[in-house]
Structure 1
């Protein structure tokens, strides 16, 4: 075999290898572009999810602040009525039955407003479980409930000095208030259980979201 023929064959072999390398390069560039596009899509999805989560957090914060303001207003009104009644008891001023009955009715109304606000609070949490209100308010309400219970017991002693018709009406109001206190206790217990459930559910959702991003990127 002549040198010229051998050179031609080597040249042809080099061209063949070069062609293969060119094809492999194009394939590598193609795959790399696919990965880049996938990363871009994932980044967009992550940004969208982050924006949605941020918006939901803001909505929950706004709802929580609104309900907290409502609860504070109602509690202040309730506190005023309670302190007013206790002050008269301590100073041993003669109580007028009609005024006492009216105050008991207002206190009953306040408790109903508290229950309504707690129901709205639980309703807002059921829409998105990522945030939960601290249970400090509930513990404070339990304390106030005990104080009001003591007031009711004092009122029962006072009503013995009132006339029969007024005394019966006062007893009815006191009994209703006792029922409301029992109902409030049950509502607060349920609210605490709901907070624990929502906290666990929010943690599970965060773990699922992390797992979704990890699996999507690896896929």
Structure 2
């Protein structure tokens, strides 16, 4: 990586701070040479007739920041910076990235890579880091008993819960039901008597 000479004033204006909720630094102030911010999302849509489509929802993705950070100092200092950024990657926590123009809250370090070289007798540490926004939501739980769904509440009648009504006693058929059953039985017997078998049997 090639470093470009910049003045002390430019260094001060381009410094970023990384602070936790208590306002303490989780990384030393860094000079940032390049940064890219991605604020993504996705529009949910459904195709309709004649090649048209209807969009009916939007999902916002977490903010992502890719930054080239630079630190300079003794070998011991640079090693401490490497240890700190490794701890940030391992920890499940978030912090704020304070830039000269904006403060990005609830960020965490996703991954990083680094290189070392020497400039003016001091060691220089270059870190390319990817930060991702953390969004916390409150999940609401319901105590509704879904084991019993009535036919009125079900979207489809077949979705209704089956209810165990216990042992039932058969009811005596009515006179009309009895007569209909006897007629059906008589027709069945007459039909059996008229069955014709192929010749030879």
TM-score by length of 1: 0.24
* Higher relative contact order, chain-length normalized (CA < 8 Å, sep 6+): 1
Q: Rg larger in 1 or in 2?
A: 2
Normalized per residue, the structure richer in strand is 2
TM-score for both structures, normalised by structure 2: 0.26
